[in-house]
Amino acid sequence: MDWSKTKTIFIIVFSIMNVFLYSLYLDRYTEYEKVEVLGSDSSSIEEKLKEDNISYGNLPMKVDPEPYVNAQIHMFKNSEIPYGNQQGRLEKNNLLHVNFRKPMPLEGEVSKETLSAFVEENVYQGQEYVFWKINSKENKAIFFQKVNGKTLYYSDNGRVTIYWNKAGQVTGFEQTVYEKVELGEQPKDLISPIQAIYTLYTRGVLPANSTIDTAEVGYSVYVQVSENARMFLPTWRISATLADGTKEEYFINAVNNGIVELETEEEEEVVK
């Protein structure tokens, strides 16, 4: 008997069982949370938010069910390292660094549009990324990977970072990417955006006199299934302007209504 292979099989099986049992637990917990939240009808929620001067514009009227998503971290091969004007190297096989010997011009000034066009044309699976933020101080922009057609928020293993010089020419980029994306078989009902906002309010996260700018559904990393596999969770992103003009973004588990803590970058200019 090859004990090493047997041990690996046991680890994989138990990992799958743990995720399955945890999902069952969350399904039951979700029902409890939803009952608790729905105990207050939408009119009473609106009244309570209005009392603390928390305002919002047009929120999504229809929220479709969304599945959990599974994916594997892509491990780059040496054959995928660019050559010619592009000088590439790998870090831990999943992070690709690329520098241009001769900086690449954009089709115009640095902007969301010109950077997005560059990524689509010059980055592996570039069409699978969505523009996120620009950091003008550091001359870099961040793109997040999309899964199930929606943004995967702040995952180190699903992003592209573009760098440029003072002349507005791209000097290089860094990339990580997920592959073998699989959708869960049973889409989950999602909480409404007003419920997500109310959760932030009742838990003391969203202060009074705030204005909700946008509410959109994407995904966030939910659980590590194995060393290179991840499960993603439907997630509300609520962006708000506080009373002092500060911009904040919050993330809510769109299935069980819990607050999701994500490591976000500081001192970045949001131009999404």
Q: What is the CATH number of the domain that holds 154?
A: 3.30.310.160
Mean residue pLDDT of the chain comes to: 87
Q: 137 with 162, same domain?
A: yes
The range of the structural domain enclosing residue 248 comes to: 3-68+184-253
Q: 79 with 175, same domain?
A: yes
109 pLDDT band, cuts 50/70/90, is very high
Of the three residues 180, 210, 238, the one that is the final residue of a domain is 180
In-domain check, residue 159? yes
Q: 159 with 64, same domain?
A: no
Q: What is the CATH number of the domain that holds 219?
A: 2.40.128.690
Give the pLDDT score at 263: 86
Q: 60 with 189, same domain?
A: yes
**Tens of pLDDT along 57-84?**
889 988 999 999 999 999 999 888 888 8
Q: 42 with 132, same domain?
A: no
33 pLDDT band, cuts 50/70/90, is very low
Quote the number of domains for the chain: 2
CA 27/CA 105 separation, integer angstroms = 50
Token output for 96: 């690709």
Q: 56 with 189, same domain?
A: yes
In-domain check, residue 196? yes
Q: Name residue, tokens 């929220």.
A: 63
98 pLDDT band, cuts 50/70/90, is very high
The size of the chain, in residues, is: 272
The pLDDT of residue 219 is above 60: yes
Torsion from C-alpha of 194, 217, 238, 229, nearest 10 degrees = 130
- β-bridge pairing 169-175 and 95-105: antiparallel
Angle of helix 193-202 versus helix 42-51 axis, rounded to 10: 50
Q: 192 with 149, same domain?
A: no
Q: 173 with 132, same domain?
A: yes
In-domain check, residue 262? no
